[in-house]
Amino acid sequence: MYEFDWSSIPNALPFLWDGMMISLQITATAVIIGIVWGTLLALMRLSPIKPLSWFAAGYVNLFRAVPLVMVLLWFFLIVPHLLESLFGFPRGSDMRLGSAMAGFALFEAAYYSEIMRAGIQSVPKGQMSAASALGMTYAQGMRLVVLPQAFRNMVPLLLTQGIILFQDTSLVYVSALADFFGAAYKVGDRDGRLVELLLFAGAVYFVICFTASRIVRHYQQKLKTA
Partner 1 sequence: MITMNNVSKHYGSFQVLTECSTQVQKGEVIVVCGPSGSGKSTLIKVVNGLEPFQSGEIIVNGLSVGDPKTNLSKLRSMVGMVFQNFELFPHMSIIDNLCIAQTKVLHRTQEVARDKGLKLLERVGLSAQAAKFPGQLSGGQQQRVAIARALAMDPICMLFDEPTSALDPEMVNEVLDVMTELAREGMTMMCVTHEMGFAKRVASRVIFMDQGRIVEDDSKEAFFANPRSERAQQFLAKILHH
Minimum Å distance from CB 226 to partner 1? 8
Query: How far apart (Å, rounded) are the C-alpha atoms in residues 186 and 208?
Result: 21
Min dist CB 16 to partner 1, Å, is: 42
Alpha helix (H) residue ranges in the chain: 8-46, 50-64, 68-77, 79-87, 96-122, 125-133, 138-140, 147-168, 180-191, 194-225
Between helix 96-122 and helix 147-168 the angle, nearest 10°, is 140
**Residue 117 near residue 42, CB atoms below 8 Å:** yes
In the complex, what is the shortest distance from the CB of residue 130 to partner 1, in angstroms, rounded to a whole number?
4
- State the minimum distance, in angstroms, from the CB of residue 144 to partner 1: 6
Amino acid at 26: I
Is the CB of 123 or the CB of 187 nearer to partner 1?
123
- Give the footprint of partner 1 on this chain (CB under 8 A): 124, 126-127, 129-137, 140, 144-145, 148-149, 152
Name which of 144 and 215 has its Cβ closer to partner 1.
144
Residue 65 near residue 140 (C-beta atoms within 8 A): no
Nearer to partner 1 (CB atom), residue 86 or residue 139: 139
Cβ closest to partner 1, residue 116 vs residue 171: 116
Distances (CA, A) of 208 to 94, 157, 167, 192, 202: 29, 17, 10, 26, 10
Q: How many residues does the chain have?
A: 226
Q: Which is nearer to partner 1, 140 or 221 (CB)?
A: 140
**Quick one: 91 or 222, whose CB is closer to partner 1?**
222
Q: Which of residues 121 and 129 has its CB atom nearest to partner 1 in the complex?
A: 129
Closest approach of partner 1 to the CB of residue 131, in Å: 8
Tell me the three state secondary structure of residue 41.
helix
Kindly state the smallest distance separating residue 111's Cβ from partner 1, in Å: 24
In angstroms, the CA 188 to CA 208 distance is 21
Q: Tell the burial category of 53 from Cβ atoms under 10 Å away from its Cβ (0-12, 13-18, 19+).
A: middle
Least spacing, CB of residue 132 vs partner 1, in Å:
6
